[in-house]
């Protein structure tokens, strides 16, 4: 959803300018409704972006990579017996 943030932003700005400019035309209420829906999509997209990145940061801090010493040549993992 965070990939669509810019699309929702552009759509919200364009529909807000057209719908709330004060001009009366036939599709004015439809454009206002589209502005409302795209604004909600923009809000959800921004929240998704912020919450997912925070969750990933916390998860990366909790799970630290473990250093594993390898025994070079002491184990053979082939299926040949």
Does residue 28 form part of some domain? yes
Which pLDDT tens digit goes with each residue over 8-38?
Answer: 999 999 999 988 888 888 888 899 999 999 9
Helix (H/G/I), strand (E/B), else coil: 70: coil
Does residue 78 form part of some domain? no
Q: Compute the C-alpha angle 75/76/81, nearest 5°.
A: 135
Does residue 74 form part of some domain? no
Number of domains in the chain: 1
Does residue 21 form part of some domain? yes
Could you tell me the residue range of the domain that residue 46 belongs to?
Answer: 2-59
42: confidence class by pLDDT, cuts 50, 70, 90:
very high
| Range 48-53 average pLDDT | 81
pTM: 0.60
d(CA 10, CA 48): 18
Residue 77 predicted with pLDDT over 60: no
Does residue 77 form part of some domain? no
Does residue 70 form part of some domain? no
Q: Compute the C-alpha angle 63/45/54, nearest 5°.
A: 20
Does residue 75 form part of some domain? no
Does residue 52 form part of some domain? yes
Angle in degrees, 0-180, between the axes of helices 28-62 and 5-19, rounded to the nearest 10: 150
| Range 35-61 average pLDDT | 83
What's the mean per-residue pLDDT of the chain?
79
In the numeric block, the tokens 């390898």 are attached to: 70
């Amino acid at each position: 959803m965070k990939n669509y943030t810019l699309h929702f932003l552009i759509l919200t700005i364009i529909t807000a300018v057209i719908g709330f400019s004060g001009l009366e035309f036939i599709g004015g209420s439809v454009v206002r409704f589209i502005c409302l829906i795209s604004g909600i999509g923009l809000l959800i997209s921004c929240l998704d972006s912020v919450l997912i990145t925070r969750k990933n940061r916390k998860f990366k801090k909790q799970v630290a990579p473990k250093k594993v010493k390898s025994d070079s040549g002491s184990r053979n993992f082939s299926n040949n017996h």
